[in-house]
Amino acid sequence: MKYNHKKVESKWHKKWVLEKVYEPDLKNAKNSYYNLMMFPYPSAEGLHVGNMYAFVGSDIHGRFKRMQGFNVFEPIGLDGFGIHSENYALKIGEHPMDQARVSEKNFYRQLQMIGNGFAWNEKLETYDPEYYKWTQWIFIQLYKKGLAYRKKSAVNWCPSCLTVLADEQVISGECERCNTKVIKKELEQWFFRITKYADKLLKGLDKIDWSEKVKIAQRNWIGKSEGASIKFSLVDVTGQKNGKHFVEVFTTRPDTIFGVTFVAISPEKAKFWLDIGWQAGEEVKSYITKALSERVAKDQNQDKDKSGIFSGILAVNPANNEKIPVWISDYILAGYGTGAVMGVPAHDERDFEFAKKFELAISDASLVSIEEGIKKSGGKKTVQFRLRDWLISRQRYWGAPIPMIHCEKCGWQTVPEKDLPVRLPYIKNFRPTGTSESPLAANENFYKVKCPKCEGVARRETDVSDTFLDSAWYYLGYLMLGNKKSLLRRGYAGQAKNKKFYFDGGLVKKWCPVNMYIGGAEHSVLHLLYVRFLAMVFKDLRLTNFGEPFKKFRAHGLLIKDGAKMSKSKGNVINPDEYIKNYGADVLRMYLMFLGPFDQGGDFRDGGIKGITRFLDRVWKIANSDKRSHYAKASRDGQGTSEELNKKIHKTIKKVTEDIENLNYNTSISALMVLLNEFEANMESVGKNELEIFTKLLAPFAPHMSEEVWREILKNKKSIHIAPWPKFDSKLIKDAEVDVVVQVNAKMRAVIKLPAGASQKDVEIAAKNNENISKYLISPIKKVIFIKDKFINFVV
RNA sequence: GCUGGGGUGGCGAAAUUGGUAGACGCACUAGCCUUAGGAGUUAGCGGGGCAACCCAUGGGAGUUCGAGUCUCCCCCCCAGCACCA
């Protein structure tokens, strides 16, 4: 009887849904376990095999926990709002709103095929007005708390996507989406004050169980520097000391204060001085103008050749009263510290380079202690962060409209909560304009509104919010949307006024924080930072009772193809469809997991699929074998099992259990292969009991075939996926006889079988009686190293 | 430049955390079965040697009875950050 993966897989997909195998009772479940995976954005033709790799790895964990008796909640949805989906729609010439429906259908079809234990009732899409109503509501809460604000500044602009980008979305000077070089543009935009949470975001990392590399990336991104701010008073070139003016610098090296030979300020700071009345020379003025304009146009990766000009002003080093020149230079960043540095060429490479280029003095003055340096300069200890506020506005169409209204008289007003959601209209001209305005700005029906305060004519904000805002709270959304009685579905007018937690409904409190979150490390400083930030805000707003959203996070590795990154431009992206069609989802799942350690990724090569296909074919053969079934009855109570085989089964249970726990799926699978080999060599000992254990161990990896064997062959009534995970007997695992390695001078000379627990004396006697050993023991033995049941080494 | 992760057969990888290096799988070779096989099955498979054995985990040193594993120096690959004072 040949295994028909197509029939079997679709049969169980239907039954699982009917039997609600993967739908926990969200309200009453005990032992809740929230197993979350990063939801995909449906930007391309279909599901990427890299998505599948991640989802299967997460699902194996979820299935394992479910069999261990947890009520596992494993939801899925689509991150379909935002620039990535919009760019795809633009590329194929479809309207994003129409395309969303097409992609949605296709993605859900594919997500169904891979055989994950998804809780389909709770699925969500970020472009669903029921969903983005809350995205907007969150914006309003942040605005009310002063955490959302408008600011004019030089922001990152992608000339291809025609929108601004957050700092986190600029990767090595390029747009995160389309790899176009990003330029700077001076614009007024909405920001989230994530910097206010810099310290909390940093400290929280110590308390959560996350992949270390993600924690490190976040620490670096937040970039805390401890140092001092020091004031240098200014004198003009004529030497007149005018006590009122000073320049403040930030330094992490106050101990180098006596080596300062100049002060350098950013062009932005110089411009500010001009604005408040500084009478600079023409040459200086024109340098400032030039530096500023270059700063805006320059893409971030250009050469770091430093320019600069002497301002004509001198500063006084507060530690030794030495007069030093104040320079204006483009190597000074405006957005970090005070926008001014003390130049210490002897101890700082950049200062050295600058001093050399402009022939400034280089002092060899000796160091003092940090404390003393601060004291001598009259500075004070300060902390600086590298983290910048999160730029939220996007001049695009396909996103959640920012729920704000601007009135000439009353200023910025939030959209009243009863008017949410601010629906994104279906408009014909959805293409980005490039004018620093969203396409919505051309739509009068959309932007012309009454001021919520004075009822006068007002204008709605026409920018939409960053798609990373959509994904920054979706783990809560799953608990709010699926339940028909949820807050989200029934609306929220007048709700929760007296309630402790707004996101309550009982479910968030019951299921959050998320127990296990699995996803790509590429989101280390994007999604994973934003989610933590919002979770902290929610807690401070008393909307939830936890500050860290994910107790445990594990990053999976990158799946590559024949040694190269899969990408649309290279045309080597693998669509799982044809593999599932040809080999079945179980084979593809196991193949992906067998490639290598889950956190290291792997290289997708067609050749290796054969190994797994053979393996599952042999499992099927054994399950259907006459030789086996003949003994089934007798061995039901373990009677048919040989002691030797039973031992191996229990060792395998231990290994697979521990390996799954640590996400070492590749070695779990190899342990199953070893056991299968044993089964084949001892068919007469493989009865129902043995096969049941094996099938259970296989279930997380190959959910369809194991269910088929479990129910159709082994005739169990309920799904294997809620059957209890096998336990191993640690007594059984201990061997009665052990292999003891015998070495002479640390060279392996023999392996002898001895009863477990043999003493050093017994082992020595046995070893000396062994021909292979005795011939090496001619010279006197100087030393013996012995490890019980393992090892003996004679040093001669 | 800084931070992190790596470097083991022809290939993907294991290695109980200092104790038999290469489990498991792919590819390959030979045999069997078959009208046939891109099926199944048996055996072999790091290099050298008839053998006893010897050599081998990027390179070099060190610690140790013993090092893929620990320490130091160097080389290479991947990922992230990058004028952050």
- What span, in angstroms and rounded, lies between the C-alpha atoms of A435 and A439? 9
Q: CB A297: neighbour CB atoms within 10 A? A: 11
Largest CA distance in chain A: 108
Q: Tell me, rounded to whole angstroms, the distance of Cα A652 from its chain centroid.
A: 32
Q: What is the pLDDT of residue A297?
A: 60
Q: What is the pLDDT of residue A639?
A: 47
Q: Is A647 exposed, middle or buried (0-12, 13-18, 19+ CB in 10 A)?
A: middle
Written as six digits, the tokens of A589 are 């799942």
Q: What is the pLDDT of residue A723?
A: 98
C-alpha distances in angstroms, A786 versus A528, A739, A790? 50, 14, 8
Q: Tell me, rounded to whole angstroms, the distance of Cα A339 from its chain centroid.
A: 32
Q: CB A494: neighbour CB atoms within 10 A? A: 8
Which helix (H) or strand (E) is A73 found in, with range?
A: strand A71-73
Distance A663 CA to B60 C1' (A): 36
Chain A residues 232-261, Cβ below 7 A from strand B? 250-253
Name the residue closest to B67, CA to C1': A746
pLDDT, mean of each 10-residue run, chain A (796 residues) = 91 97 92 96 82 95 97 96 90 93 93 96 92 93 96 89 90 83 88 95 93 90 93 76 81 94 95 91 94 70 78 94 95 92 93 94 90 93 93 95 97 92 94 91 96 96 96 92 49 42 71 94 90 95 90 91 74 87 96 93 86 95 73 44 85 95 94 94 88 97 97 96 95 83 87 86 86 80 87 88
**Residue A304 CB in 7 A reach of strand B:** yes
What is the SS3 assignment for A200? helix
What is the SS3 assignment for A6? helix
Give the nucleotide at minimum CA-to-C1' distance from A265: B85
**Residue A270 CB in 7 A reach of strand B:** no
Written as six digits, the tokens of A533 are 């930030």
- Yes or no: say if A257 and A322 are a contact pair by the CB < 8 Å rule: no
Reported as a single tens digit per residue, the pLDDT across A142-193 is 999 999 999 988 889 999 999 999 988 888 778 888 888 888 888 899 999 9
**Residue A772 CB in 7 A reach of strand B:** yes
Q: Which residues pair with A464 in a beta bridge?
A: A394, A401
Q: What is the pTM of this model?
A: 0.93
- Yes or no: say if A425 and A446 are a contact pair by the CB < 8 Å rule: yes
- What span, in angstroms and rounded, lies between the C-alpha atoms of A605 and A49? 12
Burial track A13-30 (b if 16+ CB lie within 10 A, e otherwise):
beebeeeebbbbebeebe
Strand A602-604 and strand A77-78: the pairing is: unpaired
Distance A681 CA to B10 C1' (A): 30
- What span, in angstroms and rounded, lies between the C-alpha atoms of A191 and A310? 35
C-alpha distances in angstroms, A123 versus A33, A477, A482? 17, 9, 7
What is the SS3 assignment for A157? strand
Nearest to A704 by CA among A53, A104, A112: A112
**Residue A172 CB in 7 A reach of strand B:** yes
The strand order across the sheet containing A448-450 reads A411-414, A404-407, A457-460, A448-450
What torsion, rounded to 10 degrees, do the Cα atoms A152, A153, A159, A164 define? Answer: -60
**Residue A749 CB in 7 A reach of strand B:** yes
Give the nucleotide at minimum CA-to-C1' distance from A607: B26
* 3-class DSSP string for A227-257: EEEEEEEEEECCCCEEEEEEEEEEECCHHHH
**Residue A651 CB in 7 A reach of strand B:** no
**DSSP at A280:** -
- Yes or no: say if A689 and A638 are a contact pair by the CB < 8 Å rule: yes
Please give the single-letter amino acid code of residue A711. R
Q: Give DSSP secondary structure letters for A729-758.
A: -HHHHS-SEEEEEEEETTEEEEEEEEETT-
Structure ipTM: 0.94
Q: What is the pLDDT of residue A504?
A: 58
Residue A513: asked if its preceding bond is cis (omega within 30°), the reply is: yes
What is the SS3 assignment for A583? helix
Exposure on the CB side of residue A293, measured as CA atoms within 13 A? 5
| Residue owning tokens 């500050």 | A547
**Residue A438 CB in 7 A reach of strand B:** no
First and final C-alpha spacing in chain A: 63
Distance A695 CA to B39 C1' (A): 25
- Yes or no: say if A229 and A249 are a contact pair by the CB < 8 Å rule: yes
Q: CB A213: neighbour CB atoms within 10 A? A: 12
Distance A243 CA to B77 C1' (A): 58
Q: CB A442: neighbour CB atoms within 10 A? A: 14
**Residue A636 CB in 7 A reach of strand B:** no
- What span, in angstroms and rounded, lies between the C-alpha atoms of A71 and A23? 9
Give the nucleotide at minimum CA-to-C1' distance from A602: B12
Give the nucleotide at minimum CA-to-C1' distance from A522: B80
**Residue A169 CB in 7 A reach of strand B:** no
Q: What is the pLDDT of residue A631?
A: 46
Q: Is A362 exposed, middle or buried (0-12, 13-18, 19+ CB in 10 A)?
A: middle
Q: What is the pLDDT of residue A434?
A: 86
- What span, in angstroms and rounded, lies between the C-alpha atoms of A412 and A404? 7
The region, left, alpha or beta by phi > 0 then psi within -120 to 50, assigned to residue A82 is left
Which helix (H) or strand (E) is A312 found in, with range?
A: strand A308-316
**Residue A457 CB in 7 A reach of strand B:** no
Give the nucleotide at minimum CA-to-C1' distance from A597: B13
**DSSP at A197:** G
Length of chain A equals 796
